[in-house]
Amino acid sequence: MTTMTYKHWRDVPERSWRWKNFSPAEIACRGTGSLRINEEALDKLQALRDQLGRPLIVRSAYRSPAHNRAVGGAPHSKHLDGTAFDIAMANHDPAAFEAAAREVGFLGFGLYPRSGFMHVDLGPARQWGERFPARPVPFAAETPPAREVLAESRTMKGGGAAGVATLGAAGVEVAQNVLAETQTAILPLVPYLDTLRWVFIAVALAGIAVAIYARIDDWKRGLR
């Protein structure tokens, strides 16, 4: 088991940090910025993150002796060795989290439902604290970001086509006026621009019709 200590987490060589979902600042002492790296503990923490597939919010990891005393930590706390982590349960089901933590090799568990976190460490095997209450419902399934939903919306596509066509028609009209006023040599082109403007207007109307139809169809199917 390799352990390395740094006066400040900024002193950690970037090439030596291999835990992709965590940073030295997250694991360092909150009071002093010092850091003790216990590779076995961090390997298990990364394995737990990989298994759960969700971010782990580290409330406390390594503590310097002075900071441990300041926060009322146990005199022989595993945080002093860099082998303990307090993880917020805001985005985890505590029962599933505990099971996964045991599976990757954590042995010590402290349950703090009132403070919303769970302590895990390398052992010895023991457990303390109150059980977390069972969640009334599981976490909701993750939904696509809004931009992805909008990209699939027929209403948005129809409205977008109408908007682009409207801008095109306006642009043609401006060009037509400019040519009529300043470019007398190419006045024969003006009628063609007028035709192009009407084409854009037709496309805009078609886009509006598509948007209205899609909206009504979604409403009928309960997809509002």
Tens-digit pLDDT profile for residues 88-132: 999 999 999 999 999 999 999 999 999 999 999 999 999 999 999
More confident residue, 217 or 127: 127
**Exposed/middle/buried for 101, CB within 10 Å: 0-12, 13-18, 19+?**
buried
pLDDT digits (tens, 9 = 90+) for 149-204: 444 555 555 555 555 556 555 555 655 555 555 555 555 655 666 677 677 788 77
pLDDT confidence tier of residue 46, bands split at 50, 70 and 90:
very high
pTM strictly above 0.85: no
Q: Give the pLDDT confidence score for residue 148 in this predicted structure.
A: 41
Evaluate if residue 34 carries a pLDDT over 80: yes
For residues 74 and 85, give the distance between their C-alpha atoms in angstroms, rounded to a whole number. 14
Q: Give the pLDDT confidence score for residue 44 in this predicted structure.
A: 98
Q: Which of 84, 41, 48, 40 is nearest to 63 (CA)?
A: 84
Q: What is the pLDDT averaged over residues 59-79?
A: 97
For residues 88 and 195, give the distance between their C-alpha atoms in angstroms, rounded to a whole number. 65
Q: What is the pLDDT averaged over residues 45-53?
A: 98
Tell me the average pLDDT of the chain: 83
* Contact present, 44 and 122 (Cβ < 8 Å): yes
Evaluate if residue 38 carries a pLDDT over 60: yes
119 backbone dihedrals φ, ψ, rounded to 5°: -90, 135
